[in-house]
Homo-oligomer: A and B are copies of this chain.
Amino acid sequence: MDQRLELLRSLAVENQTKMVLLVMDGLGGLPSESGMTELEKAITPNLDEMAAHGETGLLEIVDTGITPGSGPGHLALFGYDPLRYRIGRGILETLGVGAEVKKGEVCARGNFCTWREGDIIDDRRAGRIPTPDSAEIVKTLSESIKKVEDVDVRFYPGMEHRFAVVFSGEGLSEKVADADPQQEGRPMKWARAFDPSGEKTARIANGLIRRVREVLGDQPKASGCLLRGFSGVPDIPAMTDLYSMKAAAVASYPMYRGLARLVGMDVLEAGKTVKELFDTVLAFWDAYDYFYVHVKYTDSRGEDGDFEAKRKVIEEVDDLLPALTAMRPEVLVVTGDHSTPSVMSGHSWHPSPVLLSGSHLRPDNSPAFGERVCAHGGMGRMKGYKLMGLMLAHAERLAKFGA
């Protein structure tokens, strides 16, 4: 465990206080021709009111100049240095299709592919078959293939040609190279162990691929599968243990729900809309100390390159914010897990604006919540993974360090 987490764990104490982390995914932006960012342009009286009485700043989510993926971005907000605690693409995508993966299990992401006699892969994506067709195939496979040797196999459908598979049994390992020829018209490249610990898993994976080929052999497009990104559950200490608190995730998307489960949060049933998310927080208010609330659409609209739509999502959140502030949490933080400027149509390295509301603040005269205000806010510019300790401090959940 790293020094910061050791420190927090050694100082964490229980209290009756409530903490809310409201993550607007990809919140930070860049100016459009208007000269203002999405957050600056949005009309946000409630966030501005919070800023006027709170503290603002900028979070370097991973490190200066580094564009965070969603996994590292969230880990940082939960207090883990994302350079130290790594989450592979395999496990993230597997979580992203709603799979549960437990310690000791190994998962991989799969593609259905078009497989020709002689083990030649003609199309690595099986013509991008429609999602419902793919789901139907996964159903068939789930009924036909339940085990390979002594290992249980679970399938999860994804978008189009994608699916995920979870292997559950003794002696599994993630030390396995992809079963994927990478190029089309080439012979299948079978899974191989990186080292002896991965040999059983590679054999099981190849056994599974052969079984899938047997079951699907007469299909015109999806007549086989590839498996990539073999990974187990990363060894991450649970937030609940680290911080002596009961933590709940209120998120609609499977990946964020899976991530939250990985770090030890309870994952609550939440709807899709911002209102449903906030209602879920209210419904479980008494049961938890810490709520992680995830709003996806700021990022989605940023990825679409749609400045106005992203601005509107921010305004929608602002409009509904009083439902959360009315609960008077001792600490309320609003930020993003990375920036997603609409003008870039993707994640970026720009630090994330952050707004902290609480009762032990040094107000910094922030006139509103926006990137330029945050650049001069009283919280300064800090590493993303330091935020969690600051929230605990403001919630009076950390003892003094040393006498």
CB A88 to nearest CB in B, in angstroms, measures: 8
Copy tally for this chain in the complex stands at 2
Q: Which residues of B have CB within 8 Å of A343?
A: 360
Flag if A375 contacts B380 (CB, 8 Å). yes
Flag if B386 contacts A63 (CB, 8 Å). yes
Flag if A400 contacts B67 (CB, 8 Å). yes
Binds B, one of A17-25, A141-149, A364-372: A364-372
Chain B, residue nearest A375 (CB): B378
Determine the distance from Cα of A103 to Cα of B171 in the docked complex, in whole angstroms: 47
Interface residues on A, range: 35 or more
Q: Write the A380-403 contact mask toward B (1 if CB under 8 angstroms, else 0).
A: 111000100111111000111111
Q: Is there a chain B Cβ closer than 8 Å to A300's Cβ?
A: no
Contacts known (A31-B363, A362-B371, A375-B380); A349 close to B402, Cβ less than 8 A: no
Determine the distance from Cα of A347 to Cα of B100 in the docked complex, in whole angstroms: 44
Q: Which residues of B have CB within 8 Å of A376?
A: 376
Flag if A69 contacts B402 (CB, 8 Å). yes
Flag if B63 contacts A7 (CB, 8 Å). yes
Chain B, residue nearest A397 (CB): B65
Determine the distance from Cα of A401 to Cα of B400 in the docked complex, in whole angstroms: 35
Contacts known (A7-B63, A58-B380); A350 close to B362, Cβ less than 8 A: yes
User: Which residue of A58, A364, A375, A400 has the most chain B CB atoms within 10 A of its CB atom?
Assistant: A400
Q: Is there a chain B Cβ closer than 8 Å to A66's Cβ?
A: yes
Q: Is there a chain B Cβ closer than 8 Å to A82's Cβ?
A: yes
Contacts known (A83-B3, A87-B402, A402-B72); A393 close to B66, Cβ less than 8 A: yes
CB A372 to nearest CB in B, in angstroms, measures: 7
- Closest 5 A-B residue pairs measured CB to CB? A69-B402, A65-B389, A65-B393, A65-B390, A64-B386
